[in-house]
């Protein structure tokens, strides 16, 4: 094991993995700080109500991009590998145009829903603007990561906008002023607008040095079909990530939703590891799939799995020792979610140990299979969370979520081994396999 870790540390691409993890890790620390400060400034009940809206808005933002972030990454890698720069520019421009329009429909839904629930005009405006800009940031982050590099994509996608919110929420807390949900969403929208400006500048510079000229999209029907499949997977992933707080709010109330949200944010340390490595992996998968280099793909996935195994062990130790003190940063009432935190950590750790299997399936043309698998588990997870939350409260909801997450990770990884003949899970590192999975 130590020899393998030493060998991985000496590989040149390890630095790229380290950058991806560092940016994602810092972004997640800032996200935790942002939400903890907001909880202190708002109070447990008001924060619980905010988390329900926040989760719903982020889900709408993911839904509104219509799979264009994945289309962009996959098509750009394939077109650049083929030196078809005209097609690369055409696909990029089309993805950006679609992204500019569809989030406006999501904003319309926000306006209707917020008005129907009696929210004031300030909240409605801030929520609508936030969902539009959050959708734009999803696509611009993927575009910058693909065209410019991980540093530019994730620096502003993960860090810049959160610093703005932390500054605003921290100032309110220091001045002992109450912070409303509308104010928090307004500051988040302002921070995202700043991040988008940085992304636009870096993308324009990157495109200025590339040959080719954008034209009309050649096959709208093919684009619509591929986008729909990828969009369905993205919607299901969003539902898998954000629906639980909403369902718990409906089942148990805002306070419990806030407790669950805080626990899930801490358990998100494992998703941080997975997503940071995923950000590296998706870029590599798209590039290597474009040149059909399965051998290098397996070696890259083995690197990712080795880093994952090392970090997951440390993350679980952190949750055991520091979970309750970290929850208390949200406020004294939030320590009631410690048991739920540990249960959620198990599910999140197993998912992270499965590696970037979803990315492998989606970026190698198996998005239909991935969508079908995920749909079944999302439905099962929603039903299980509601039933167990109704019977056993917060801990029941956590048990349902963790069990479904583990089962989904196992099923998706099995599909990846059988369909793509690569094993992205941590087992490829532990066993030392370099050969295709069978």
* pLDDT tens digits, one per residue of 215-251: 888 788 888 888 888 788 788 888 888 889 989 998 9
Higher pLDDT: 264 or 13? It is 264
Residue 198 pLDDT class (50, 70, 90 cuts): very high
* Residue with more model confidence, 5 or 88: 88
pLDDT tens by residue, 76-107: 878 888 888 898 899 889 889 888 999 999 99
438 is a domain residue? no
Query: Does 356 score more than 70 pLDDT?
Result: yes
Q: Is residue 436 part of a domain?
A: no
Could you tell me if residue 83 is inside a domain?
Answer: yes
Q: Which of the pair, 20 or 277, is modelled with greater confidence?
A: 20
**299 with 285: CB under 8 angstroms?**
no
pLDDT tens-digit profile of 107-130? 999 999 999 999 999 999 999 999
Per-residue pLDDT at 11 exceeds 70: no
CA-CA distance, 214 to 208, in Å (whole number)? 13
Q: Does the residue 86 lie in any domain? A: yes
pLDDT value for 301 = 62
Q: Which residue has the higher pLDDT, 276 or 388?
A: 388
Q: What range does the domain containing 288 cover?
A: 2-431
What does 179-227 look like in DSSP terms, one character per residue?
--HHHHHHHHHHHHHHHHHHHHHHHHHHHHTS-------S-HHHHHHHH
Q: What is the pTM of this model?
A: 0.80
**6 and 303 Cβ atoms separated by less than 8 Å:** no
Average pLDDT of the residues in 120-143:
95
8 A C-beta contact, residue 42 and residue 50: yes
Residue 433 pLDDT more than 60?
A: no
Q: What is the pLDDT of residues 165-195, one digit of tens each?
A: 999 999 999 998 888 999 999 999 999 999 9
pLDDT tens, residue by residue, 303-345: 666 677 777 888 888 899 999 999 999 989 899 999 999 999 9
Number of folded domains that form the chain: 1
With 70 as the cut, is the pLDDT of residue 282 above it? Answer: no
Q: What pLDDT shows up at residue 300?
A: 62
pLDDT digits (tens, 9 = 90+) for 57-78: 999 999 999 888 888 887 887 8
Are 413 and 355 a contacting pair, CB within 8 Å? yes
Residue 206 lies in a domain: yes
**Residue 54: inside a domain, yes or no?**
yes
Is 46 a member of any domain?
Answer: yes
Q: What is the pLDDT of residue 234?
A: 81
Rg of the chain (C-alpha set) = 21
**Measured distance CA(122)–CA(364) in Å, rounded:** 44
- Could you give the percent of the chain with pLDDT greater than 70? 84
Q: Is it the case that residue 34 has pLDDT exceeding 80?
A: yes
- Asked if the structure places residue 310 within a domain, the reply is yes
Write down the pLDDT at residue 224: 86
pLDDT band at 296; cut points 50, 70, 90: low
What are the φ/ψ torsions at residue 120 (nearest 5 degrees)? -80, 170
Q: What is the pLDDT of residue 435?
A: 44
Predicted confidence at residue 237, as pLDDT, reads 81
Higher pLDDT, 435 or 117: 117
Give the lowest-confidence range in 45-59, 111-125, 128-142, 349-363. 349-363
Whole-number average pLDDT of the chain: 84
Evaluate the CA torsion angle 191, 184, 23, 420 in order and state its sign. negative
User: What pLDDT is stored for residue 29 in this prediction?
Assistant: 86
Alpha carbon 405 to chain centroid, angstroms: 15
């Amino acid at each position: 094991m130590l020899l393998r870790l030493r060998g991985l540390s000496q590989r040149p691409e390890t630095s790229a993995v380290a950058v991806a993890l560092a940016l994602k890790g810092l972004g997640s620390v800032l996200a935790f700080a942002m939400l903890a400060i907001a909880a202190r400034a708002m109070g447990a009940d008001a924060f619980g109500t905010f988390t329900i809206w926040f989760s719903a808005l982020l889900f709408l933002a993911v839904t509104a991009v219509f799979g264009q972030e994945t289309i962009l990454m996959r098509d750009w890698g394939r077109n650049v590998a083929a030196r078809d720069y005209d097609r690369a520019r055409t696909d990029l421009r089309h993805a950006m145009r679609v992204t500019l329009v569809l989030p406006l429909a999501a904003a319309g839904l926000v306006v209707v829903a917020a008005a129907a629930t009696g929210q004031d005009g300030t909240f409605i405006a801030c929520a609508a603007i936030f969902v539009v800009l959050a959708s734009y940031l999803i696509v611009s982050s993927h575009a910058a990561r693909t065209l410019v590099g991980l540093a530019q994509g994730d620096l502003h996608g993960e860090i810049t906008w959160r610093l703005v919110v932390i500054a605003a929420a921290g100032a309110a807390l220091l001045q002992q002023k109450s912070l409303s949900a509308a104010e928090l969403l307004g500051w988040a929208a302002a921070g995202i607008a700043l991040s988008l400006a940085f992304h636009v500048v870096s993308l324009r510079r990157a495109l200025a040095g590339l040959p080719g000229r954008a034209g009309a999209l050649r096959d709208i029907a093919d684009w619509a079909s591929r986008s729909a499949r990828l969009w369905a997977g993205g919607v299901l992933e969003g539902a898998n990530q954000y629906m639980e707080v909403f369902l718990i709010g409906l089942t148990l109330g805002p306070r419990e939703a806030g407790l669950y949200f805080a626990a899930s944010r801490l358990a998100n340390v494992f998703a941080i590891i997975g997503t940071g490595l995923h950000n590296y992996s998706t870029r590599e998968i798209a590039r290597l799939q474009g040149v059909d280099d399965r051998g290098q793909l397996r070696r890259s996935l083995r690197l990712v799995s080795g880093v994952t195994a090392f970090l997951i062990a440390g993350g679980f130790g952190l949750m055991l020792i520091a979970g309750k003190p970290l929850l208390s940063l949200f406020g004294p009432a939030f320590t009631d979610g410690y048991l739920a935190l540990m249960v959620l950590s198990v599910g999140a750790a197993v998912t992270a140990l499965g590696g970037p299997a979803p990315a492998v399936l989606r970026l190698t043309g198996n998005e239909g299979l991935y969508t079908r698998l995920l749909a079944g588990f999302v439905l099962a997870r929603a039903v299980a969370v509601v039933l167990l939350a109704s019977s056993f409260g917060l801990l029941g909801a956590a048990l349902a979520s963790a069990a479904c997450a583990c089962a989904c990770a196992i099923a998706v990884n099995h599909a990846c081994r059988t369909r793509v003949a690569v094993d992205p899970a941590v087992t490829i590192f532990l066993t030392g396999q370099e050969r295709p999975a069978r």
